[in-house]
Amino acid sequence: MNLLNFIDLSSRQIFFVLPLVIACVYTVYNCITNPNLTSKERLIWLLAILLFPVVGCVFYLFFNKDRLAPRKVMRK
């Protein structure tokens, strides 16, 4: 059984779907590991990314707090 037949995607559709899936997975990982977000902000971003994958990913990548503020520096 071919995996593409099970998913019912042609090889052309894979070239469009696969980059979107990779971008969404990267965005979720980046959101979870972002030290500049509070837990409430993180939850809101994750909901936006998971409910509206394409728009949520684009908005997070351009408007997240990580791009607006410098990273927190850990002191010894």
pLDDT band at 16 (very low <50, low <70, confident <90, very high): confident
Higher local confidence (pLDDT), 62 or 66: 62
Q: Which amino acid is at 17?
A: V
How many independent structural domains does the chain possess? 1
Indicate whether 59 belongs to any domain. Answer: yes
Indicate whether 75 belongs to any domain. Answer: no
Q: Which amino acid is at 20?
A: L
Indicate whether 25 belongs to any domain. Answer: yes
The parent domain of residue 57 ranges over 3-68
Indicate whether 41 belongs to any domain. Answer: yes
Higher local confidence (pLDDT), 48 or 7: 48
- Angstrom CA distances, 73 to 25, 36, 50, stand at 26, 10, 30
Q: What is the reported pLDDT for 68?
A: 52
Indicate whether 43 belongs to any domain. Answer: yes
The enclosing H or E element of 35 equals none
Indicate whether 22 belongs to any domain. Answer: yes
d(CA 24, CA 10): 21
d(CA 72, CA 46): 21
